[in-house]
Homo-oligomer: A and B are copies of this chain.
């Protein structure tokens, strides 16, 4: 990508302007989880949390962090020579959109069928049922 690089004020990246939150991939999601738990963190600190379990190298984590920054899912704050990363999208929002995606794709947007499915496939434990019952009671109030 030789040639200039200035001219336009900014824009540049293919990360669109500001429409949807830009999908977060599976591997990226693992990184997000770490930062949702505690932040801001440096790349090395994030690695400490995920490299072992996922069998990743620091390099991989760095790549994922960069991509997440590009996707505007993470914010960076300089700290001496390195960066501190912190989530820019709330976990709530992410979880919400992912859940909705699934419900839309698989259950025509209705949550009840999802629940029915979970129930039928024994994916619900006693505790789950009790909890849900409690929530229901609350909703009805």
Contacts and interface: CB of A to CB of B under 8 A. Distances in A.
Secondary structure type dominating chain A contacts: helix
A99 B115 contact: no
Contact of A106 (B95, B111, B124): B95
Interface string A119-134: 1010111011101110
Question: How many copies of this chain are found per oligomer?
Answer: 2
Nearest to A114: B99
B110 A102 contact: no
A135 B115 contact: yes
Interface residues of A, number: 35
Interface of A: 26, 29, 95-96, 98-100, 102-103, 105-107, 110-112, 114-119, 121, 123-125, 127-129, 131-133, 135-136, 139-140
16 contacts: A26-B105, A98-B102, A98-B105, A98-B106, A99-B121, A102-B102, A103-B123, A110-B125, A110-B128, A111-B124, A111-B128, A112-B127, A112-B131, A115-B131, A132-B132, A132-B136
